[in-house]
Amino acid sequence: MEENQELQAVSMPRIGDPAPEFKAVTTQGEINFPSDYKGKWSILFSHPADFTPVCTSEFMTFAHMEKQFNEANCELIGLSIDGLYSHIAWLRTIKEKIEYKGMKDIEVTFPLIEDIKMDVAKKYGMIQPNEDSTKAVRAVFFVDPKGIIRAIIYYPLSLGRNFDELYRALIAMQAADEFGVATPADWRPGDDVIISPAGSCGTAKDRMEDSEIDCKDWFFCTKKLDKDEVLKKVLKK
């Protein structure tokens, strides 16, 4: 029985899977995930506990960047294994008392899920028993407008997340979808993008001769993608 409970605690959906459905009470009312977010990207993320310093710094950063994520057609949803009133008190304390890296008077307006019974955390494998059996690790799930999980990033309890990277990953995945390309290491809008390897000798030869495509070899070809074009598509501006 104990082994089965542990397996349930660490089981998690995979990239390409439909996001597991759930209904939950949050600081912004009840939500049905992912159906309430159809047509939008969403980031579902967990944190270990309310009234903890690393989590506080993360929530302030996410709230500070919320408009930026929203402009990229992305909604934020937080979760911890705490009750609704604890969530409300913590978020009020953040707004009224906490200043961090020049951020103050920060109001968290995105939903924070109450998950006392760990139902959602277990569905998403946010409980890692060898890290902590009663706290969620810092999991991040990127879910696309069709409700499909597109990326997953996990951090241990002690490590605060890099929010520039979360935003970069979101924009890169959207750009890949919009333009049918891949993005290389450290890609940001305006950088060259990767063209998928050629599927035939003829295609490879044509690419090597295409002046708009820069091929280092038949399998490594890049092309320019204008920054403004990317942002216009992704940010709908």
- Tens of pLDDT along 171-203? 999 999 999 999 999 999 999 999 976 555 555
Residues 31 and 112 in one domain: yes
What pLDDT does 1 receive? Answer: 44
Q: What is the distance between the alpha carbons of residues 176 and 165, in angstroms, rounded to a whole number?
A: 16
Q: What is the distance between the alpha carbons of residues 174 and 41, in angstroms, rounded to a whole number?
A: 9
Domain boundary among 108, 126, 161: 161
Catalytic residue positions, numbered = 55
Residues 156 and 184 in one domain: no
Instruction: Look up the domain containing 89 and give its range.
Output: 2-161
Please report whether residue 199 resides in a domain.
yes
Query: What DSSP state is assigned to residue 58?
Result: H
Domain boundary among 130, 161, 192: 161
Q: Using one digit for the tens of pLDDT, what is the confidence trace for 212-224?
A: 889 888 788 899 9
Please report whether residue 17 resides in a domain.
yes
- Does 138 belong to an annotated binding site? yes
Q: What percentage of the chain reaches a pLDDT higher than 90?
A: 77
CATH number of the domain enclosing 219: 3.30.1020.10
Q: What is the distance between the alpha carbons of residues 134 and 128, in angstroms, rounded to a whole number?
A: 9
Q: Which amino acid is at 222?
A: T
Torsion of CA 168, 169, 174, 179, to 10 degrees: 80
Residues 56 and 136 in one domain: yes
Q: Using one digit for the tens of pLDDT, what is the confidence trace for 128-151?
A: 888 888 899 999 999 999 999 999
- The tally of domains found in the chain comes to 2
Please report whether residue 68 resides in a domain.
yes
